[in-house]
Amino acid sequence: MPVISDDLKADIVSTAHELAEAAREATLLHFRAAGLSAETKEMERFDPVTVADRLSEERMRAILARRRPDDAILGEEFGPKAGTSGLTWVLDPIDGTRGYLSGTPTWGVLISVADETGPIFGLIDQPYIRERFEGGLGIARVVGPSGEAPLKCRPARALAEAILFSTFPEVGTTAEGAAFRRVAAQARLTRYGTDCYAYALVAAGMIDLVIEAGLQAYDVQAPIAVIEAAGGIVTNWQGGPCAQGGQILAAANPAIHAEAMALLNG
């Protein structure tokens, strides 16, 4: 990673937190509101977007236009904006819109900053439960109703003792789903749902693995930064980079990562 000055680090972190506060306010304005409706982005399956998704990203982009106008932006709802600084803000204004619509509390807002090497800093913010997981640029911490704590992934344990998460039981294609089930069959416990919160739980040392497929850059770059800052590892299913999305294997440590990867490719 290129050397980043202390002043730039401080400004990146401060800006990210201002974005998270704005997104938190925007999303909570509509959460569990009567009559909240959603459009779908796809015809073949329900991929919802709400007024809250758009408002959240609009407010974050307005802050970036004021504070970091030379940076690029990649957002889920309004696409890319070119920049000249070499930094890109990657924004998912609501990760887990299906959960948001359903009134569940674990949807989140994903904010990250990437350079040419990939994500260097990220926030996984949980507006309703008011937990914020932060990683990168020398930081690995969570702040929430119980106070502040360092983030540290779980130490190595056998897959037979591990906890595995994925958002949907139907993971990707038929072949990808079969590969996921090979891992799930060996894990001690498999759970579904929680969207980006599962990645936060890896960083917090609560679970061992998240395995998903078909993700986008804005789904994964903040989790990559947070989990790596906590000592974990995030790759594609073949062990390569995954900052642009696709197949994701997030693991608490290299040992459990290797065991899961062998089954995924078995």
pLDDT digits (tens, 9 = 90+) for 209-219: 999 999 999 99
When pLDDT is averaged across residues 4-27 and rounded to a whole number, the result is: 97
When pLDDT is averaged across residues 96-121 and rounded to a whole number, the result is: 96
Q: What is the pLDDT of residue 35?
A: 79
Q: What is the pLDDT of residue 43?
A: 58
Whether pLDDT at 256 is above 80: yes
Q: What is the pLDDT of residue 172?
A: 95
Instruction: Note the pLDDT tens digit of each residue in 48-79.
Output: 889 999 999 999 999 999 999 999 999 999 99
Whether pLDDT at 1 is above 80: no
Q: What is the pTM of this model?
A: 0.96
Q: What is the pLDDT of residue 3?
A: 78
Task: Determine the Cα–Cα distance for residues 243 and 119; give it in Å rounded to an integer.
Answer: 7
Q: What is the pLDDT of residue 38?
A: 78
Backbone φ and ψ for 186, nearest 5 degrees, come out as -95, -15
Cα 86 off chain centre by? 22
Q: Which fold has domain 159-264?
A: D-Maltodextrin-Binding Protein; domain 2 (3.40.190)
Task: Determine the Cα–Cα distance for residues 266 and 263; give it in Å rounded to an integer.
Answer: 5
Q: What is the pLDDT of residue 45?
A: 66
CATH 3.30.540.10 positions along the chain are 6-150
Q: Does domain 6-150 have CATH number 1.10.10.10?
A: no
Task: Determine the Cα–Cα distance for residues 223 and 203; give it in Å rounded to an integer.
Answer: 9
CATH 3.40.190.80 positions along the chain are 159-264
When pLDDT is averaged across residues 90-99 and rounded to a whole number, the result is: 96
